[in-house]
Structure 1
Amino acid sequence: MLAELIPLALVVALSPLSIIPGVLVLHSPRPRPTGLAFLAGWIVGLALVTQVFVEVSNLVGGGLDKPPSWASWVRIVAGGALVAFGVYKWLTRGRSDHSPKWMTSFAKITPRKAAVTALVLVVANPKVLFMCAAAGLAIGTEGLGRRGATLGLSFYVAVAASTVALPVLAYAVSGDRLHEPLTRLKDWMEAQHAALVAGILIVLGLLVLYKGLHGL
């Protein structure tokens, strides 16, 4: 299960709408508390959304202790969708991606608004929402019980939130010395993320598709 969750979490971690807001909040008037508030909201958002889909699979599948019969078909459909989306991202990778204009407001954001914004971004970003749904269903259909589901959820959230946590925590320790490196990181992610995400999606889709076919 953990091997299946890593690619899902990496898609979230490498998404520009995950990393760029986490860097922009560090340019606010109170960067340390604002960054930490954004990180807290991001982690809570990822955990809550993923847990919802764990519980959905629990209700539909009849419990967390036994894999439901339809789990393989869900993986086949999800794997095919991920491969198709990965191919699309690869074919359109040449398009330039820029930060949405509404992100400019992050320069004046407060810690409370940063936490709420992070929660909203988890739900509003289709890519993040889909990955959390896929992770929740993957965790809930493994038949590992409540303890195993909790372990899987914690592991997924830790990896998915890592690219937001690293700059925020590093800035909390090092301060303004990281301003230029973080800006370069944001610019690089805007230029290169499409190819990276495309490759991860295709590999992930093939793995999920294989596991679904193997389980029939």
Structure 2
Amino acid sequence: MGTVIGELLPLAVAVAISPIPVIAVILMLLAPEATATGAGFCVGWVAGIVAATVLFTVLTAVLDLGGAGGSSTVVAWVKLALGVLLLALSVRQWRSRPGPGEEPVTPGWMRAVDRFTPPKAFGLGFALAAVNPKNLAMCVSAGATIGTASSTAGASAVAVAVFTLVAAATVAGPVLGYAVAADRLRGALDRLKVWLSANNAAVMSVLLLVIGAVLLGKGIGGLA
């Protein structure tokens, strides 16, 4: 179990420090219906992480990809492909960062966040966790890791819970903090939103580069 958790932690941290969901939850907490939309987004984010991770954990176990021979080779190829994908996304993110003096482009859905209802916030949180290619790649790798290493349903459930707890921390943390001390957090959240908006591309590029290199190395190691 310790080995599995050790492999999951870098993937979970990569999901946790993704700037886009953090910016989204901050925008919701600065909106008029902060408590309801923030909670809806947080629940959707957690549900998306759990759904994607459990799906690929079950697929890996059912297809017996953790077995010897060809099955373990399939897992190695999956990690290799994910590593290459993340490296390509890293290059794309780096090239998309704003130049000196340029304002970062704000997606349309971010400008509409203050008009979101809790169900819409839930859907956005779920989509960013389970459909967004960057986070989905982390959940696929986590699911493959759990499915190949965990021998029982209980062990798999614990691994998924640990992965989700770490991955969701940066979204759940502000929501819980706002519920306790809203007035004291508004200024800090606003400053963090501005910084993340300006540096989103650079942060994601470095993050994807590191995790992509790790997965690429694991994939090559599994094929050796």
Report the TM range for the smaller structure's normalisation. Answer: 0.7 to 0.9
Task: State the Cα RMSD in Å.
Answer: 2.4
CA deviations 1:71-118 (Å, max 9, x no partner) are 222222222332333234334434564331222332133334322332
Preserved CA contact (<8 Å) 2:91 2:205? yes
Equivalent residue runs for 1:32-43 within 5 Å? 32-43=35-46
Match of 1:85 among 77, 83, 89: 89
Query: 2:31 maps to what in 1?
Result: 28
Amino acid at match of 1:167: P
Partner of 1:167: 174
Choose 91-100 or 5-14, whichever is displaced more.
91-100
Aligned residue identity for 1:78: L
Alpha-carbon distance in 2 for matches of 1:6, 1:81? 20
| Structure 2 counterpart of 1:193 | 200
Residue 213 of structure 2 is aligned with which of 187, 206, 211?
A: 206
Q: Judging changes above 3 Å, is the alpha-carbon distance between structure 1 residues 119 and 93 closer, same or farther for their aligned structure 2 residues?
A: same
Deviation track 1:157-185 (CA, whole Å, cap 9, x = no partner) reads 11221111121111111012211211111
Partners of 2:142 and 2:190 in 1: CA distance: 30
Q: Which one of 39, 50, 59 corresponds to residue 62 of structure 2?
A: 59
Match of 1:9 in 2: 12
Match of 2:47 in 1: 44
1:145–1:208 distance in 2 versus 1, CA, 3 Å: farther
- The within-5 A match list for 1:65-80 is 66=67, 68-69=71-72, 70-80=74-84
How far apart, CA to CA, are the structure 2 residues paired with 1:151 and 1:104?
A: 38
2:133 aligned with 1:133, yes or no? no
Stretch of structure 1 that moved more, 74-83 or 95-104: 95-104
Distance 1:117 1:199, change over 3 A: closer
- Residue 142 (structure 1) shift: 2.4
Counterpart Cα distance in 2 of 1:11 and 1:195: 14
Report how many aligned residue pairs link the two structures.
214
Task: Tell me, yes or no, if the aligned pair for 1:78 and 1:208 is still in contact at 8 Å.
Answer: yes
Classify 1:182/1:143 alpha carbon distance in 2 versus 1 (closer, same or farther; 3 Å): same
Q: Give the deviation of 1:143 after TM superposition.
A: 4.4
Name the TM-score, length of structure 1 as normaliser.
0.85
Structure 1 pair 113/202, CA: closer, same or farther in 2 (3 Å)? closer
Q: Which runs of 5+ in 1 are unaligned?
A: none
C-alpha distance in 2 between matches for 1:208 and 1:123: 19
Instruction: Give 1:34 deviation, angstroms.
Output: 2.7
Q: Distance in 1 between matches of 2:20 and 2:43?
A: 16
Q: Following the alignment from structure 1 to structure 2, what is the Cα–Cα distance between the partners of residues 24 and 92? A: 22
1:81–1:205 contact (8 Å) kept in structure 2: yes
| TM-score (ref. length: structure 2) | 0.82
Structure 2 CA distance for partners of 1:121 and 1:89, relative to 1, 3 Å: closer
Give the CA deviation at 1:15.
2.3
1:43, CA displacement in angstroms? 0.6
Distance 1:102 1:199 in 2: 25
Q: Which residue of 2 aligns with 1:146?
A: 153
Aligned-partner Cα distance in 1 for 2:196–2:186: 16
